[in-house]
Amino acid sequence: MSAERIDGKAFAARLRERVGALAAEFETQAGRKAGLAVVLVGEDPASDVYVRSKNKATLAANMESFEHRLPADTSEADLLALVERLNADEAVDGILVQLPLPGHLDEQAIIEAIAPDKDVDGFHVINAGKLSVGRSGFVPCTPLGCMMLLADRLGDLSGLEAVVIGRSNIVGKPMAQLLLDANATVTIAHSRTKNLPDVVRRADIVVAAVGRPEMVRADWLKDGATVIDVGINRLAPETGADKGRLVGDVAFEEASARAGAITPVPGGVGPMTIAVLLRNTLVAAHRNAGLEVPEGL
């Protein structure tokens, strides 16, 4: 029996459509559009693709997009000055500084310079702290998108055992906190976990976010487990016919024979990240305008 394929692309399209409709209502109420500012430093090709796709998605969702492209040798002082101007700009509801930054810039210092109420990436230490104690703040887009897919597939997560493979501040740690908040029993595992396959095999829910191509094999999984694959890895040229193919952290084909449901790569978690970014921006816009956040966001 083959696992149900969790279609993140279709879910994200529905979320973006809902956000677009609510953004049009926001414009009527507030007399302006919600605004997202994206800052790109340097010319990293992957980052450039992400920024262009975010700009396009923002405009399609009835929001203003403010794009700031800076040269790779931009000083930290100049970047911080731009962030401060965006913090003070009432037309800007969300600020996203595209990572990674050039090596001479302190990423944490830049992130912490963003006003927490405009930190739609959810990376600021204040928003991370709010998540850890169950208070309302901004949650990183990828784990929040994963939770939306899990809730859509499973409904109530209470009492389910979840294993998160990966402990990054961007995905692993906030993912574990969100699962805890949903009353799941959560284990955070990683590449140094002893007997990792045995740990994963206990889980009703597996979230793989470790950044290793096809690391999670079918025999790591409990029969019927729901698998969320956050990984996106491009196979190296020496892999023959697979040259350049995108794969996740889970061996999709073999895992599909054992899991109950699984996200593909691409087309699973990836599309959710931008959709949730738009959702977070619209939430920020309502809060910044003193308006009630609509139900369903």
The confidence score (pLDDT) of residue 237 equals 66
Mean pLDDT of the chain: 95
Architecture of domain 30-117: 3-Layer(aba) Sandwich (3.40)
Confidence of residue 162 (pLDDT cuts 50, 70, 90): very high
Q: Which of 119, 121, 204, 249 is catalytic?
A: 121
Question: How high is the pLDDT of residue 235?
Answer: 84
Give residue 283's pLDDT: 98
> Which pLDDT band holds residue 239 (cuts at 50, 70, 90)?
low
Q: Kindly report whether the global pTM for this prediction surpasses the value 0.75.
A: yes
Q: Is residue 78 flagged as an active site residue?
A: no
pLDDT at 242 over 70: no
Residue 32 has pLDDT above 90, yes or no: yes
Which residue ranges make up each domain of the chain?
30-117, 141-270
Question: What is the pLDDT, as a whole number, of residue 263?
Answer: 98
Give the model's confidence band at 236: pLDDT under 50 very low, under 70 low, under 90 confident, else very high.
confident
pLDDT number for residue 191: 84
Determine whether 54 is an active site residue.
yes
Question: Is pLDDT at 26 greater than 60 in this prediction?
Answer: yes
List, for residues 103-154, the tens digit of each pLDDT value: 999 999 999 999 999 999 999 999 999 999 999 999 999 999 999 999 999 9
Mean pLDDT, rounded, for 208-212 = 95
Given the residues 98, 118, 173, 204, the one annotated as active site: 98
Catalytic residue at 117? no
Is there a shared CATH topology between the 30-117 domain and the 141-270 domain? yes
* Catalytic member of 54, 118, 173, 222: 54
Residue 245 is predicted with a pLDDT of 85
Q: What CATH superfamily is the domain 141-270? A: NAD(P)-binding Rossmann-like Domain (3.40.50.720)
Q: pLDDT by residue (tens digit) across 46-82?
A: 888 889 999 999 999 999 999 999 999 999 999 999 9
Please count the other Cβ atoms lying within 10 Å of the Cβ belonging to residue 81: 12
